[in-house]
């Protein structure tokens, strides 16, 4: 039987004449931090002090003892970042050029000092640029010239920390006769039966040895002979239980085990879990343009999505527990689709395992983002090799439903001046329209491939045409107001978002000793977007009076504005289902403490946006929308059952008086939307009035203020606060708009169970708080924020 021995102990990192202890998996930065050689680059402006690390060459070393008793010994690297030579006692085993691939070297009979020498990624990128010529990109760093996580070179939310190291596990595999080299599982559903077709490839030491494979799944067994180095085992599982996205059904998973045998001897075993479901994408033309609707098990979905970036700029630090915590947070917010963005990585198995279990659909970008990528060799060969490996590696996961060719590169070619700059040079089109769809069609025809995001389906339309395919809505954040989200109904919104700073406790940890201000040195360093603070200020000014010199107020209002902006888009687009078939918020998470578009900050704390997503992505949603015929209440029902009931409509003054009231009935079918016209006499008039819509039986509420907040004469908020273990109860005596308990101000570890809430006079809310060891009413009141009268 094949024996696998982890090689995680005894590594050292060569730093000049010194040999520092090294952690494998890990990277140079984390090892240097552990040794006290460099400071934590996430704190203050330390990022700039450690920039030299990415421009150095580094060597990792340990002793290799392959042992005996087997015919072959292989040294297996699951991930090397990125340009490296692998040697044993100075003998070259091979060179690597791709962070996104694994590598295997024959070390049979070898003993001695194992060395992995990393060349600076900058040096390699510059060398490639010298050979193939200049290629334009959205950022100045040379990430497009090598197969490495692009965002390690910095992004508009990320630091420039160019890593090197053994970022995934290393092991020694020893075996005899044969081993399983690759299993490609095609998992489908036919007539109520689950079908598993296992395409097996083996590597041999003895060509003449007869080999068989035996497989089991769901109590079904099958056997096949290996003809040379390949074979196929087919299994049919009767009465299979379907795997569904969360909110649509359960997520049953089936264990698959495949054993390679020589006679009665088991030589190797492959184990995975699979789920049975069908996946499709409806891109048919209609009266509105060209659709983009995911279909799972025949069910058409409105995708409630978030974009995912690497959860740490040092991805070797992301543990199984951390993946699960972050993805549980996503599921807890009502998310059912996670898009793994193309400037990052193919995530580790733990990520996809968690998505399988939680019912989170995965849209996986191939790692190309915001740049023209050369197609010359050896880059072209590396792209195909990594695609082949990762498509097969991730095939068992039922959560993975979409392969996407790139992020914004087709748009960049058309709109960002690339076509003229390139002058006919290669830029990646051959990957997105040639190599990648061919690889997916050949290896995994059970899944959807889409050329890029955004992409309209063909060059006949602009790549970011909202009427065709996927759309990225960034003009609103960059240039206008979030109310402009309501001007379009894209077919599928794959990116949109609004910035806000991280939680207060996150800032205090990341900027120790700094007097916080919107433009203090540390705050500006942890704001990577082009004119990011300017856009925040202009976005605030359209809705609120700017709080001069009051950081706490600025911090609160920017977080309110982020939640309001995202709500404006999602409410509008959900109300237009099925024309619009999905929204994917930019972004779920952060890779360090930073002002960004994230709902969960770099320390894992939920911003108000996170809690707002729980409302926006719930199966049932009430929203007041402006239509040509006037004001309507859109009743959105994504549940599998019909929804009938009554909504209480009240036209109210900000002082709390009810100027008009009515009850309206509604009925909306499963996965549907209904509109109820608001009676003319209940439409609020002027800045002092607003509309309240309550579905009391369901505990849902929608509000409509006809003017921006800066024009609303809010009363000075008055409320009582009562504190009990694990709870803060607020009772309003006036209108209290967008009340927020910033629990991390009570204690850094404290978390509240809800975000922004608006209370009418006499209403009460209890906010659950965990992690607050010494409840105190005065402290609770000081951590409560809400809108106040405009000065």
Buried b (16+ CB within 10 A) or exposed e, 51-60: eebbeeebbb
Region at 549 (left for phi over 0; alpha for psi -120 to 50; beta for the rest): left
Is-contact 471 465, C-beta < 8 A? yes
d(CA 702, CA 455): 34
Question: What is the token pair recorded at 519?
Answer: 């433009």
Q: Identify the helix (H) or strand (E) that includes residue 73.
A: strand 72-77
Reduced to 3 states, what is the DSSP secondary structure of residue 470? strand
Which candidate, 636, 612, 610, places its Cα nearest to that of 623?
636
C-alpha span between 624 and 552 (Å, rounded): 31
User: Of 308, 424, 318, 326, which Cα lies nearest the Cα of 367?
Assistant: 308
Radius of gyration of the chain from Cα atoms?
28
- Rounded CA-CA distance 247/360 in Å is 10
Phi and psi torsions of 461, nearest 5°:
-125, 160
List the one residue out of 125, 183, 118 whose CA is nearest residue 150: 125
Written as one string, the DSSP assignment of 537-560 is HHHHHTTS---TT-HHHHHHHHHH
Please list the residues that pair with 204 across neighbouring strands: 178
Cα dihedral value 589, 592, 596, 601, nearest 10: 50
d(CA 197, CA 233): 6
SS3 55: helix
Three-class SS state of 765: strand
Catalytic residues: 408
CA dihedral 556, 559, 565, 567 (to 10 degrees): -100
Helices (H), 575-607: none
Identify the CA nearest to 595 among candidates 650, 520, 679. 520
Beta-carbon contacts of 292 under 8 Å, excluding residues fewer than 6 positions away, are: 281, 282, 283, 469, 470, 491, 492, 581, 582
The sign of the CA dihedral 392, 394, 397, 398 is: negative
Residues 6+ apart with CB under 8 A from 286: none
Q: How far apart are CA 305 and CA 292, in angstroms?
A: 14
Phi and psi angles of residue 198, each rounded to the nearest 5 degrees, phi first: -100, 110
Q: What angle do CA 562, 582, 411 make, to 5 degrees?
A: 80
């Amino acid at each position: 039987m094949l024996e696998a021995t982890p090689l995680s102990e005894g590594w050292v990192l060569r730093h000049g004449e010194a040999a520092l202890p090294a952690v494998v998996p890990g990277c140079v930065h984390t090892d240097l931090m552990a040794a006290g050689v460099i400071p934590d680059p996430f704190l203050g402006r330390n990022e700039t002090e450690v920039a030299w690390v990415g421009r150095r060459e580094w060597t990792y070393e340990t002793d290799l003892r392959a042992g005996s008793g087997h015919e072959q010994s292989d040294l297996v690297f699951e991930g090397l970042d990125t340009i490296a030579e692998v040697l044993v006692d100075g003998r070259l085993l091979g060179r690597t050029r791709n962070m996104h691939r694994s590598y295997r070297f024959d070390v049979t009979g070898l003993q001695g000092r194992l060395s992995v020498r990393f060349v600076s990624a900058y040096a390699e990128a510059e060398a490639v640029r010298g050979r193939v010529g200049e290629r334009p990109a959205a950022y100045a760093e040379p990430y497009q010239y090598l197969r490495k996580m692009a965002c390690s070179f910095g992004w508009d939310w990320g630091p420039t920390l160019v890593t090197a190291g053994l970022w995934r596990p290393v092991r020694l595999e020893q075996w005899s006769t044969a081993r399983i080299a690759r299993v490609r599982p095609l998992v489908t559903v036919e007539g109520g039966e689950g079908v598993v077709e296992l395409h097996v490839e083996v590597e041999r030491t003895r060509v003449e040895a007869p080999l068989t494979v035996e497989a089991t799944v769901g109590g079904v067994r099958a056997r096949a002979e290996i003809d040379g180095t390949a074979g196929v085992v087919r299994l049919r599982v009767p009465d299979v239980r379907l795997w569904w996205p969360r909110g649509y059904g359960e997520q049953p998973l089936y264990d698959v085990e495949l054993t390679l045998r020589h006679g009665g001897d088991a030589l190797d075993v492959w184990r995975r879990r699979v789920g049975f479901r069908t996946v499709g994408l409806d891109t048919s033309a209609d009266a509105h343009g060209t659709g983009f609707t995911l279909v799972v098990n025949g069910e058409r979905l409105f995708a409630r999505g978030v974009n995912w970036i690497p959860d740490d700029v040092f991805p070797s630090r992301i543990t199984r527990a951390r993946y699960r915590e972050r993805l549980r947070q996503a599921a807890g917010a009502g998310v059912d689709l996670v898009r793994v963005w193309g400037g990052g990585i193919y995530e580790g198995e733990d990520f996809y395992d968690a998505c399988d279990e939680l019912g989170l659909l995965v849209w996986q970008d191939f790692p190309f983002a915001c740049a023209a990528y050369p197609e010359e060799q050896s880059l072209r060969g590396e792209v195909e090799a990594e695609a082949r490996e990762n498509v097969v590696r991730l095939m068992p996961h039922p959560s993975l439903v979409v392969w996407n060719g790139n992020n914004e590169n087709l748009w960049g070619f058309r709109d960002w001046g690339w076509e003229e700059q390139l002058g006919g040079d290669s830029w990646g089109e051959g990957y997105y329209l040639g190599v990648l769809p061919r690889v997916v069609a050949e290896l995994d025809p059970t899944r959807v491939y889409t050329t890029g995001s955004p992409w309209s389906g063909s060059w006949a339309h602009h790549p970011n045409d909202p009427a065709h395919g996927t759309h990225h809505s960034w003009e609103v954040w960059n240039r206008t107001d979030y109310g402009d989200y309501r001007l379009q109904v894209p077919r599928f919104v794959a990116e949109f978002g609004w910035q806000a700073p991280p939680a207060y406790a996150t800032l205090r940890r990341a900027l120790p000793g700094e007097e916080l201000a919107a433009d203090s040195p540390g705050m500006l360093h942890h704001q990577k977007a082009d004119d990011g603070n300017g856009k925040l200020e202009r976005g605030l000014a359209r809705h609120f009076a700017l709080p001069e010199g009051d950081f706490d107020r600025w911090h609160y209002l920017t977080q309110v504005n982020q939640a309001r902006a995202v709500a404006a888009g999602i409410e509008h687009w959900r109300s237009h289902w099925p024309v619009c078939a999905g929204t994917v918020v930019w972004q779920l998470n952060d890779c360090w403490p930073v002002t960004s578009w994230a709902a969960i900050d770099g320390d894992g704390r939920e911003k108000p946006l996170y809690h707002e997503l729980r409302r926006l992505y719930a199966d049932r949603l009430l929203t007041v929308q402006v239509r040509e015929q006037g004001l309507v209440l859109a009743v959105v029902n994504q549940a599998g059952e019909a929804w009938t009931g009554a909504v209480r409509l009240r036209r109210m003054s900000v002082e709390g008086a009810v100027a008009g009231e009515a009850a309206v009935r509604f009925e909306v079918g499963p996965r549907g939307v209904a509109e109820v016209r608001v009676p003319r006499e209940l439409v609020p008039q002027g800045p002092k009035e607003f509309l309240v819509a309550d579905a009391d039986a369901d505990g849902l509420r929608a509000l409509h203020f006809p003017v921006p907040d800066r024009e609303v004469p809010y009363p000075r908020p008055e409320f009582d606060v009562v504190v009990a273990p694990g709870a803060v109860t607020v009772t309003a005596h006036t209108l209290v708009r967008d009340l927020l308990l910033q629990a991390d101000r009570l204690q850094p570890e404290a978390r509240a169970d809800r975000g922004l809430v608006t209370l009418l006079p006499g209403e009460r809310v209890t906010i659950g708080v965990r992690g607050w060891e010494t409840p105190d009413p005065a402290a609770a009141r000081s951590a409560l924020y809400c809108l106040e009268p405009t000065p």
